[in-house]
C-alpha cells in the first residue's frame, strides 16, 4: 500500500489515474453499446477523424482540444444523420478513412514544418496518447466531460438497450429510436475525443471494443454486462498505468491495451469457443 | 520547379534516391493493383487493412532487434495472413458483433505493440511517422531488389491461380461443387495479399495501404464491369497515382502518403461521379422515350 501511496503522491500520476478512470468508465459504457449495436466500425471511423481533427487544429494554430472534440462530435452526428441509408460497403468507407488519415499526415507535416519549436512529438502524442502528460486543467476537463458522458449513458441506458436489441418493438412502444441513436453516437464521439488523449487515436478502438467484448462473452445479462464492461475498462487503465510507472520505457498506452487484450483473451478462454455473445 | 515539363521530369531522375523511389513505387503499384483487384472482388478489404496494420509492429520490432525493416514487414504480414487463413471461417454463422470486437482489439493491440517497440528502441519519432505514413526517402537498392523479388514471386503464383481464384471469388458454391479447392485458394490468396500489403506499407506507410490496395481497384470497378478491362485499368491507375504522388512529394515538403491517398481518392470520386452522371442521363433518356422504357 505504501507503494500505491507513493504513486498517488505524484501529481501527474494522480491526474492520470483520476482522468484515466473517468475516460475508461465512459469508454467501457459506450463500448458496450457500440459492440451490442455492431457499430465497432463507428469507433474505427472516429479514431481516424480524431487524429485528423486534432492535427488540423494544431496546424491552424488553434487548441488541440477544439479540433479533437469538434471533429469527433461533428462526424459522429453526421454518421447518425446518414445512418439508415448510409450502408456503404467496405471499400468506400475504407477509401474515405484512408484519405482522412492522409489529410492528417498532411496537417502533421504542415504543423511540424511551419510552427517554430513544434516537432513530430505532438503528432505521435495524438496517435498514441499522452496520459502522463495531462495538466491539472486538462485532467479536470477530461474528468468532467467523461463523467457527464457516463451519467448521460446511464440515464439513457434502459431505452437505448431496448432500441438496440429490438428496434421494431421499441419503435412500436414509442421509444424515440432515431433520436436515441443520434444522441448515443454523439456521446461516442465525445468519448472518442476524450479517449484519444488517454490512449491515442489509433488505440481508442481497443479501449472501446476489448472490455465490451469481454463483458459480452462473460454474461448475457445486459446491465451486468454494462457494469462489467466499465469495470474492465477502468481496471485496464489503472493496471496499464501501474505497468508503465513500474517500467518507464513501456508507453502507458501499450500497458493499457495489453491489459485490455489480456482480459479479452481470458474471457474467450474462460467461456470457450462454443458460446456466442 | 520550372513548369518546363521535360526539364522537371528529367530532374526527377537526377538523384539516385528518387530513381530508387520510382522503381520501388512502380513495383509496388503493379503488385498492389493485381492483388487489390482480387481483394475488392472478394470483399476482403478489411483483411488487407489488418495485414497492413500488423506489418507496422513487424517493422518496428525488426528495427528494435537490429534486422532490416523489410524483413519485419514481410514476416509479420505473411504470418498474420497464415493466422487469418487458419482461423475457421465463421463469418456467416456466428454473431457478428463479437467478431468485430475481436478485429478491433487485434488491430489496436498490434498498433500498441508497434508503439512499444518504437519506444523501447528509443527516440526515432520521425521514423515512427515514416512507418505509419510512408516515406520515399532512403529506399535502398537492396530494398528495391527485395520488393521486386517478392512482387515477381507473388504475381507468378497469382498468374497460376488466377482463373480458379476468379471462379471461386465470383461463385464459391458452384466452384466448390466443380471440385475447385476453394479453401486452399483462399489461404494462398491471403498469403499473397500479405506480401502485397507489406510491400505497400513500405511506400505509403502502414496506415495508408488502402490508397494503393483498394482505391485503384474500386475506381476501375466503377468504370467498367468487364473483368479483364478493369484488371488492367486497376494496374494502370495504380501506376499513375504512384508516379504523380512521388513527383508531387519530390517538389513539395509534404508527405508522400498524403499525395497517394489524395490522388487515389480523387480518381475514385471522379469515377463514381461519372458513373452516377451516366446513369442519370440514361434514366433521363429512358424517361424521354416512354415506349422504350422497361423499368
Assigned C-alpha cell, A229:
464492461
How far is C-alpha A150 from the geometric centre of its chain's CA atoms? 12
For residue B91, what are the CA distances in angstroms to A98, B41, B94, B98, B100?
Answer: 24, 17, 6, 11, 10
- Are A64 and A139 within 8 A, CB to CB? no
Give the closest-approach CA distance of A2 to chain B in angstroms.
Answer: 29
Distance CA B73, CA B51 (A): 10
What is the DSSP-derived secondary structure letter of residue B3? S
Provide the pLDDT for residue A230: 94
What is the DSSP-derived secondary structure letter of residue B254? S
Nearest CA in chain B to A213: B101
Question: Residue B94: is its pLDDT beyond 60?
Answer: no
Query: Hey, is the C-beta of A162 within 8 angstroms of any chain B C-beta?
Result: no
- The torsion angle over the Cα atoms of residues B41, B170, B55 and B252, rounded to 10 degrees, is -20
Question: Residue B99: is its pLDDT beyond 70?
Answer: no
Distance CA B97, CA A20 (A): 26
Q: Give CA angle at B59 (B55, B65), nearest 5°.
A: 140
Contacts of B211 in chain A (CB under 8 A): 98-99, 102
User: pTM, whole model, 2 decimals?
Assistant: 0.81
Provide the pLDDT for residue A171: 85
Give the closest-approach CA distance of B291 to chain A in angstroms.
Answer: 32
Query: Hey, is the C-beta of A94 within 8 angstroms of any chain B C-beta?
Result: yes
Query: Hey, is the C-beta of A35 within 8 angstroms of any chain B C-beta?
Result: yes
Q: Mark out the alpha helices in A118-251 (DSSP H runs).
A: 120-128, 136-165, 167-172, 177-199, 204-218, 222-246
Give percent of chain A above pLDDT 70. Answer: 89
Count of residues in chain A = 277
Q: What is the 3-state secondary structure (H, E, C) of A57-108?
A: HHHCCCCHHHHHHHHHHHHHHHHHHHCCCCCCCHHHHHHHHHHHHHHHHHHH
Assigned C-alpha cell, B66:
537490429
pLDDT tens digit string along A223-249? Answer: 899 999 999 999 999 999 889 888 888
Question: Average of pLDDT values for A72-90?
Answer: 71
Question: Residue A20: is its pLDDT beyond 70?
Answer: yes
Distance CA A208, CA A31 (A): 4
Average pLDDT, chain A: 83
Assigned C-alpha cell, B1:
520547379
CB-nearest partner of B95 from A106, A264, A277: A277
Would the CB atoms of A120 and B125 count as touching at under 8 Å? Answer: yes
Provide the pLDDT for residue A117: 54
The sign of the torsion formed by the CA atoms of B112, B118, B124, B129 equals negative
Question: Residue A276: is its pLDDT beyond 50?
Answer: no
- Are B204 and B211 within 8 A, CB to CB? yes
Q: Give CA angle at A21 (A16, A27), nearest 5°.
A: 120
pLDDT tens digit string along B108-162? Answer: 888 888 888 888 877 655 667 777 887 777 788 888 999 999 999 999 999 999 9
Buried b (16+ CB within 10 A) or exposed e, B252-290: eebbbbbbbbbbbbebbbebbeeeeeeeeeeeeeeeeee
- Cell 478485429, residue? B103
- Are A49 and A193 within 8 A, CB to CB? no
Would the CB atoms of A108 and B129 count as touching at under 8 Å? Answer: yes
Q: What is the CATH code of the structural domain delimited by B15-288?
A: 1.10.3470.10
CB atoms within 10 A of CB B192: 25
Provide the pLDDT for residue B154: 94
Give percent of chain A above pLDDT 90. Answer: 22
Mutate to test the interface with A, among B104, B113, B214, B263 (most CBs of A within 10 A): B104
Provide the pLDDT for residue A88: 54
Long-range contacts of B230-233 (CB under 8 A, 24+ apart): B230/B37, B231/B34, B231/B37
- Are A219 and B73 within 8 A, CB to CB? no
Distance linking the first and last C-alpha atoms of chain A: 38
Question: Average of pLDDT values for B32-57?
Answer: 87
Distance CA A57, CA A63 (A): 6
The candidate with the shortest Cα–Cα distance to B109, out of A32, A273, A45, A262, is A262
Q: What is the 3-state secondary structure (H, E, C) of B85-136?
A: HHCCCCCCCCCHHHHHHHHHHHHHHHHHHHHHHHHHHCCCHHHHHHHHHCCC
- Cell 483498394, residue? B214
Contacts of B40 in chain A (CB under 8 A): 91
Query: Hey, is the C-beta of A233 within 8 angstroms of any chain B C-beta?
Result: no
Query: Hey, is the C-beta of A247 within 8 angstroms of any chain B C-beta?
Result: no
- Tell me which of A42 and B73 has the higher pLDDT: B73
Q: For residue B240, name the pLDDT band (cuts at 50, 70, 90).
A: very high
Interface predicted TM-score (ipTM) over 0.90 = no
- Are B77 and B51 within 8 A, CB to CB? yes
- Are B208 and B256 within 8 A, CB to CB? no
Average pLDDT, chain B: 84
Contacts of B108 in chain A (CB under 8 A): 202-207, 209-210, 257, 261
Interfacial B residues in 243-262 facing A (CB < 8 Å) = 253-255, 257-262
Assigned C-alpha cell, B71:
524483413
CB-nearest partner of A99 from B40, B255, B261: B261
Would the CB atoms of B100 and A35 count as touching at under 8 Å? Answer: yes
Query: Hey, is the C-beta of A132 within 8 angstroms of any chain B C-beta?
Result: no
Provide the pLDDT for residue B103: 77
Q: Give CA angle at A34 (B44, A189), nearest 5°.
A: 100
Question: Residue A158: is its pLDDT beyond 70?
Answer: yes
Contacts of B122 in chain A (CB under 8 A): 249
The candidate with the shortest Cα–Cα distance to B75, out of B49, B92, B93, B56, is B56
- Tell me which of B30 and B43 has the higher pLDDT: B30
The candidate with the shortest Cα–Cα distance to A212, out of A17, A31, A22, A27, is A31
- Tell me which of B157 and B48 has the higher pLDDT: B157
Q: How many CB pairs under 8 A join A and B?
A: 186
Amino acid at each position: 500500500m505504501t507503494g500505491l501511496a507513493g504513486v498517488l503522491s505524484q501529481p501527474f500520476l494522480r491526474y492520470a489515474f483520476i482522468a484515466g478512470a473517468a475516460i475508461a468508465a465512459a469508454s467501457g459504457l459506450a463500448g458496450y453499446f457500440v459492440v451490442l449495436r455492431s457499430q465497432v466500425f463507428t469507433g474505427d471511423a472516429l479514431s481516424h477523424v480524431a487524429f485528423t481533427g486534432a492535427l488540423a487544429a494544431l496546424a491552424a494554430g488553434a487548441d488541440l482540444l477544439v479540433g479533437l472534440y469538434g471533429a469527433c462530435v461533428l462526424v459522429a452526428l453526421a454518421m447518425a444523420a446518414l445512418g439508415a441509408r448510409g450502408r456503404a460497403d467496405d471499400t468506400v468507407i475504407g477509401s474515405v478513412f484512408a484519405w482522412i488519415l492522409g489529410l492528417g499526415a498532411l496537417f502533421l507535416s504542415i504543423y511540424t514544418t511551419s510552427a517554430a519549436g513544434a516537432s513530430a512529438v505532438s503528432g505521435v502524442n495524438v496517435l498514441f496518447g499522452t496520459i502522463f502528460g495531462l495538466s491539472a486543467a486538462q485532467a479536470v476537463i477530461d474528468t468532467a466531460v467523461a463523467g457527464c458522458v457516463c451519467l448521460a449513458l446511464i440515464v439513457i441506458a434502459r431505452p437505448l438497450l431496448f432500441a438496440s436489441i429490438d428496434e421494431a418493438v421499441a419503435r412500436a412502444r414509442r421509444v424515440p429510436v432515431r433520436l436515441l441513436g443520434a444522441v448515443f453516437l454523439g456521446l461516442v464521439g465525445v468519448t472518442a475525443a476524450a479517449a484519444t488523449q488517454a490512449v491515442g487515436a489509433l488505440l481508442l478502438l481497443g479501449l472501446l471494443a476489448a472490455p465490451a467484448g469481454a463483458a459480452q462473452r462473460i454474461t448475457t445479462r445486459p446491465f451486468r454486462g454494462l457494469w462489467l464492461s466499465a469495470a474492465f475498462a477502468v481496471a485496464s487503465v489503472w493496471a496499464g498505468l501501474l505497468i508503465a510507472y513500474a517500467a518507464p520505457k513501456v508507453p502507458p498506452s501499450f500497458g493499457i491495451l495489453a491489459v485490455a487484450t489480456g482480459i479479452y483473451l481470458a474471457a474467450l478462454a474462460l467461456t470457450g469457443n462454443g458460446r456466442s455473445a | 520547379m520550372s513548369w518546363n515539363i521535360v526539364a522537371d521530369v528529367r530532374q526527377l531522375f537526377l538523384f539516385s534516391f528518387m530513381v530508387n523511389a520510382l522503381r520501388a513505387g512502380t513495383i509496388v503499384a503493379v503488385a498492389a493493383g493485381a492483388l487489390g483487384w482480387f481483394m475488392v472482388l472478394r470483399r476482403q478489404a478489411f483483411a488487407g487493412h489488418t495485414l497492413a496494420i500488423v506489418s507496422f509492429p513487424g517493422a518496428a520490432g525488426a528495427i528494435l532487434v537490429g534486422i532490416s525493416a523489410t524483413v519485419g514487414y514481410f514476416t509479420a504480414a505473411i504470418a498474420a495472413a497464415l493466422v487469418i487463413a487458419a482461423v475457421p471461417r465463421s463469418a456467416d454463422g456466428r454473431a457478428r458483433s463479437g467478431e468485430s470486437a475481436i478485429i478491433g482489439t487485434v488491430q489496436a493491440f498490434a498498433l500498441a505493440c508497434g508503439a512499444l517497440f518504437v519506444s523501447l528502441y528509443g527516440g526515432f519519432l520521425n521514423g515512427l511517422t515514416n512507418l505509419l505514413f510512408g516515406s520515399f526517402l532512403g529506399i535502398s537498392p537492396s530494398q528495391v531488389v527485395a520488393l521486386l523479388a517478392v512482387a515477381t514471386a507473388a504475381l507468378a503464383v497469382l498468374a497460376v491461380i488466377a482463373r480458379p481464384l476468379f471462379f471461386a471469388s465470383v461463385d464459391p458454391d458452384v466452384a466448390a461443387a466443380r471440385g475447385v479447392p476453394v479453401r486452399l485458394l483462399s489461404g494462398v490468396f491471403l498469403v499473397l495479399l500479405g506480401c502485397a500489403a507489406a510491400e505497400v506499407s513500405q511506400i505509403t506507410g502502414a496506415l495508408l495501404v488502402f490508397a494503393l490496395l483498394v482505391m485503384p481497384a474500386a475506381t476501375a470497378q466503377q468504370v467498367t464491369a468487364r473483368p479483364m478491362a478493369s484488371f488492367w485499368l486497376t494496374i494502370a491507375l495504380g501506376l499513375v497515382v504512384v508516379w504523380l504522388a512521388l513527383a508531387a512529394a519530390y517538389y513539395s515538403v509534404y508527405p508522400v502518403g498524403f499525395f497517394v491517398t489524395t490522388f487515389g481518392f480523387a480518381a475514385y470520386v471522379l469515377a463514381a461521379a461519372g458513373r452516377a452522371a451516366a446513369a442519370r442521363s440514361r434514366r433521363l433518356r429512358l424517361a424521354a422515350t416512354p415506349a422504350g422504357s422497361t423499368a
